[in-house]
């Protein structure tokens, strides 16, 4: 029996944000063909360093992994957006340091995940849907630094990339500025299902899923 495990944060563990609606894991169960099993190891609020613990819960029957992590790492540095600076160069230098630290942590984490030797798909961080236009513009520009790290890490290892920026492309896809709604969760579940079904047969490396 194929068994997919969802790793990461509230992109998958979004049950607390959809009211009586189904979370991503539930929608994935209803989307995959009969016979597939889905387990949710992702935990709301997790950062890159928490994935190792989630891997410790894997059983020997797990056949596929999907990872969505990094959004909370970015949120932890949100304060830099309001800090004073004397020049654009100073701001870019601060951002470069954040990117380098995230890249080091993310790549180390991803090496641990790929060492499990299961088919793996990696998700980007989708754009936040903040109400205030300037906040949305600045936050999503800063997120590009994190997404650059994620895409480089995925493609350098020949992994499938699920680009949530392209999948969750409407305000209604989010229940609040940063969490998936039922509509967004449905789109995410469809993309994961496409990866799972493709990974059971021949496929090319470094695919990008935007379904």
pLDDT tens figures, 145-163: 999 999 999 999 999 999 9
CATH number at residue 24: 3.40.50.1110
Return the structure tokens found at 101: 């630290």
CA distances for 72 relative to 42, 102, 106, 118, 199, angstroms: 13, 11, 12, 25, 28
Q: Taking the model in full, what pTM does it have?
A: 0.90
Say if residues 11 and 188 touch (Cβ distance below 8 Å).
yes
Q: State how far the Cα of 97 lies from the Cα of 184, in Å rounded to an integer.
A: 32
* CA-closest candidate to residue 126, choices 5, 25, 14: 14
pLDDT above 90 for 54: yes
Sign of the torsion formed by the C-alpha atoms of 65, 98, 80 and 151:
negative
* 28 Cβ contact partners less than 8 Å away, ≥ 6 residues apart: 4, 6, 38, 189, 192, 193
| Residues 81-119: tens digit of each pLDDT | 667 777 889 878 888 899 999 999 999 999 999 999 999
Instruction: For residue 37, give the 3-state DSSP assignment.
Output: strand
Q: What total number of domains does the chain contain?
A: 1
pLDDT above 50 for 203: no
pLDDT above 90 for 134: no
* CA-closest candidate to residue 22, choices 175, 170, 193, 196: 175
Say if residues 20 and 8 touch (Cβ distance below 8 Å).
no
pLDDT, residue 201, reads 59
Q: State how far the Cα of 81 lies from the Cα of 79, in Å rounded to an integer.
A: 5
Q: State how far the Cα of 176 lies from the Cα of 129, in Å rounded to an integer.
A: 7
Q: State how far the Cα of 39 lies from the Cα of 183, in Å rounded to an integer.
A: 20
Note down the domain range covering 65. Answer: 3-209
Q: State how far the Cα of 127 lies from the Cα of 109, in Å rounded to an integer.
A: 23
* 31 or 75: which leads in pLDDT: 31
Sign of the torsion formed by the C-alpha atoms of 104, 152, 7 and 118:
negative
């Amino acid at each position: 029996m194929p068994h997919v495990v969802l790793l990461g944060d509230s992109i998958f563990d979004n049950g607390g944000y959809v009211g009586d609606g189904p979370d991503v894991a539930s929608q994935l169960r209803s989307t995959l063909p009969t016979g597939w099993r889905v387990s949710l190891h992702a935990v709301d609020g997790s950062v890159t360093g928490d994935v190792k613990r989630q891997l410790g819960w894997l059983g020997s029957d797990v056949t596929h992994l999907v990872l969505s992590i990094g959004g909370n790492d970015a949120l932890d540095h949100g304060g830099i957006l309001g800090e004073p600076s004397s020049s654009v160069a100073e701001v870019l230098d601060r951002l470069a340091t954040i990117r380098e630290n995230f890249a080091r942590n993310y790549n180390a984490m991803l090496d641990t995940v790929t060492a499990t030797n299961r088919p793996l798909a990696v998700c980007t961080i989708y754009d936040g849907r903040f109400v205030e236009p300037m906040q949305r513009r600045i936050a999503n520009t800063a997120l590009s630094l994190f997404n650059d790290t994620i895409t480089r890490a995925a493609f350098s290892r020949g992994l499938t990339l699920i680009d949530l920026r392209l999948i969750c492309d409407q305000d209604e896809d989010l229940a609040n500025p940063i969490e998936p709604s039922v509509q967004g969760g449905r789109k995410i579940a469809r993309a994961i299902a496409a990866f799972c079904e493709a990974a059971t047969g021949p496929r090319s490396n470094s695919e990008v899923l935007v379904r």
